[in-house]
Amino acid sequence: MTEKTIQDKVRGSLVGGACGDALGYPVEFVYSFEEIKYRYGEMGVQQYDMSYPWLDRLQRPKKALFSDDTQMTLYTAEALLEAEKNGTPLLKTICEAYLIWFGHQADRKVKAGYESALSEIDELNQRRAPGNTCMSALLSIYRGKEADNNSKGCGGVMRVAPIGLYGAKHGWTLQETARIAGETAALTHLHPLSTYSSAALAVIIQQCVNTEHIDRETFKTIVEDILSVITEVYGESAPYLKEFTDIIHSAIRAADVKLPDWEIIENYLGEGWVAEETLAIAVFSVLRHIDDFSGCLVCAVNHGGDSDSTGAVAGNIIGAIVGYNAIPAKFTVPLQLHELIIDMADAIVTKPTNTSETDN
Ligand SMILES: [Mg+2]
């Protein structure tokens, strides 16, 4: 595969996630597809709703806003680059990145572990419905304790895509990628189903970047193969492994059911508030619309659950399959910080300079 193709896929995944997040953000707290239809018509939400009625009239930007999912995803990406540049431990650097983000969200003074360019960008630090578990876990860490919960909320899985992108570019083994993504999610969410879902997402994304042409059958194989990676990393008797395997199989089977997308999601896959359902809805949406970026995102957000997170995760995957150049302009042009996200993707593709070696 050419460097250009890899770059296109990495850009596609990072921008695609932001597009899905921004498409789903206005309907995250609309609690049924019926209500979405009432607002947007029979087909549900099809393009960005940039009306933002919850913002003060003067503060409404003419841009598609993404939420905390993309904010934290970009902080994950920045931390990966910082850790390599400065030779600092990966997980510790990622945790420092999240604390920088938390400081802005909670209006607390955080002593930053590294000089964060993202910390200076308002849009990445404004409150966009941050998840309760992320906030309470980071508050514990801020106070010098570890997170103490048994949460499988999707706040862990929705931010780990860059680990798969980085793993693809830097030749990590799938097991290594799984372990790092699982540990990253477990900084704030301690339930095993959050860990497995996050590990699985990063591995799926790494495989999608590493595989040039992906059709439905290829993607199905990629998804089925993650189950053996998860078993290798966490052991055959790991808790909740059966539940995880069951929901992944449900997502694959559901793709063949002859019902409208939203009906399958609401009846068989859940609402996406918890990590394994988020991943399942994303996998289902990709399988149903493997060649169609718009169709995949529309499928992923039109249900009564956590639409921005299911949109973000589906966008991360489909973007890594079709590549940035296949994303329709109606999604990229209005997207806030579009250029910054592309620059971040390109930085992942370009090996950073290790300053400890080059300082003279
Ligand atoms: Mg969100």
| pTM summary value | 0.96
* Å from CA of 357 to ligand 1 middle: 39
Using left for φ > 0, alpha for ψ between -120 and 50, and beta otherwise, residue 240 falls in left
Say how far apart CA 121 and CA 161 lie, in whole Å. 21
3-state secondary structure of 203: helix
* Å from CA of 171 to ligand 1 middle: 30
* Å from CA of 24 to ligand 1 middle: 9
Mean pLDDT of 308-313: 98
* Å from CA of 102 to ligand 1 middle: 14
Give the pLDDT confidence of 86-108 residue by residue, as tens digits.
999 999 999 999 999 999 999 99
* Å from CA of 236 to ligand 1 middle: 33
Topology (CATH) of 3-46+63-358: ADP-ribosylglycohydrolase fold (1.10.4080)
- Per-residue pLDDT band at 1 (split at 50, 70, 90): confident
Say how far apart CA 170 and CA 159 lie, in whole Å. 19
Give the pLDDT confidence of 155-192 residue by residue, as tens digits.
999 999 999 999 999 999 999 999 999 999 999 999 99
Q: What is the pLDDT of residue 166?
A: 97
* Å from CA of 312 to ligand 1 middle: 9
Listed by start position, the domains of the chain span: 3-46+63-358
3-state secondary structure of 327: coil
Report residues near ion ligand 1: CB below 5 Å. 67-69, 308
Give, in order, the Cα–Cα distances in Å from 126 to each of 72, 141, 166.
12, 21, 26
